[in-house]
Homo-oligomer: A and B are copies of this chain.
Amino acid sequence: MATINEVADRAGVSTATVSRALNGKNTVDSELAARVLTAAEELGYRPNGPARNLRRQETPVLALIISDVENPFFTAISRGVEDVAHAAGYSVVLCNSDDDAEKERSYVSVALEERVAGVLLSPTGRTSGGELLSGTGTPFVALDRPLPGISGDTVLVDTGSAARDATKYLSEQGYRRPGCITGPAGVPTADERLAGYRDGLRAAGIRGCSSLVRRSEFKAAGAGRATRSLLELTQPPDSLLVANNAMALGVLETLRELGLRAGSDVGLVAFDDAPWARLLDPPLSVVAQPAYDIGTVGAQLLLSRIGNERGEPTTTTLSAHLVPRASSDPRWKPF
């Protein structure tokens, strides 16, 4: 692949002039610039990124590390990040940690070594890659979940309140024994949603019962098993609050296996408004999180830090809202 030297030779100028011409500096004669441009064109010249980044001491790339590319919640975040970053001249590379702490650390490590301009991290679990980030000068923003024990800019969703509202709403719909399927202990979003569920029960004057709570990974399979174990209780719950949309898939599948209907048999509210949620029968009630906004806000925050914004770390909390559909209506009938 052609280097700047070859371009310089072909155009009969120095490498400095080539560099200036190609970077649109105005201190170069227009005739020379034209010669450089055609020479570069003819050689198919493409500047060597590593060399440029090394010299400039910066790389116009943001890393976005998420825990599950197959989850619409995270892909919506990525779209938000991308839109903001792109407008500011940054590329975004998306890394999928697959909810694996080891992979997450490895991606953070790569991002740091490659000297990306900044990192957006949606931390997986407890042992996050966040500790690698803190201390290095590389700006970073935590999305969706805080980094345990590390201070830094954070964009969260007030899912506790949303969970409380959703639970209260279930009780108002006539469900007297709401259960809850949430994520692993120690994962903030999982714990907040559980706490919100308990608050909601209290607000509705229902005595909570820990046997109506199950935890699993934020995946379909675990949630399916949890659902089965709940519904096989002698006093099963009459409705469920489900902590994310991947889990909702597992819950729905198990309901189908058991021959139960959402709504009439088991009230259902799940977190995250996936595109398919409203197409189910009955349409799935959800707590819609502002995923796209998490992305845009996070990216803006990161860009301002990259632009050397000083000041204390900030925490932005966005709010989620309930979208009631028929899966939380005990009177719903298939036809």
Contact = CB atoms under 8 A, between A and B. Distances in A.
Given A75-B69, A96-B94, A279-B249, A51 B54 contact: yes
A107 B78 CA distance: 16
A294 to B, nearest CB: 15
A249 B49 CA distance: 41
A136 B1 contact: yes
Given A1-B137, A276-B274, A70 B76 contact: yes
Given A75-B69, A93-B93, A114-B50, A136 B44 contact: yes
B72 A79 contact: no
A295 B114 CA distance: 25
B220 A249 contact: no
A335 B259 CA distance: 11
Contact of A91 (B52, B59, B76, B107): B107
Contact of A115 (B48, B110, B113, B135): B48
Oligomer copy total: 2
Interface string A83-107: 0001000011111101000010011
Contact of A70 (B53, B75, B91): B75
Interface in A285-335: 334-335
Contacts of A72: 70
Nearest to A47: B113
A329 B53 CA distance: 59
Contacts of A86: 103
A52 B44 CA distance: 24
A60 to B, nearest CB: 9
B50 A59 contact: yes
A253 interface: yes
Given A50-B114, A280-B281, 17 more contacts: A46-B112, A48-B115, A49-B115, A50-B50, A50-B54, A50-B59, A69-B78, A70-B75, A70-B275, A78-B96, A82-B96, A91-B95, A91-B107, A92-B96, A94-B95, A253-B279, A276-B279
26 contacts: A1-B136, A1-B137, A44-B135, A46-B109, A46-B113, A46-B136, A48-B54, A50-B50, A50-B53, A69-B78, A69-B79, A70-B76, A75-B75, A78-B96, A82-B98, A91-B106, A91-B107, A91-B110, A93-B94, A94-B95, A249-B275, A252-B279, A253-B278, A256-B279, A280-B281, A281-B334
Nearest first, the 3 A-B pairs at minimum CB distance are: A93-B93, A281-B281, A94-B94
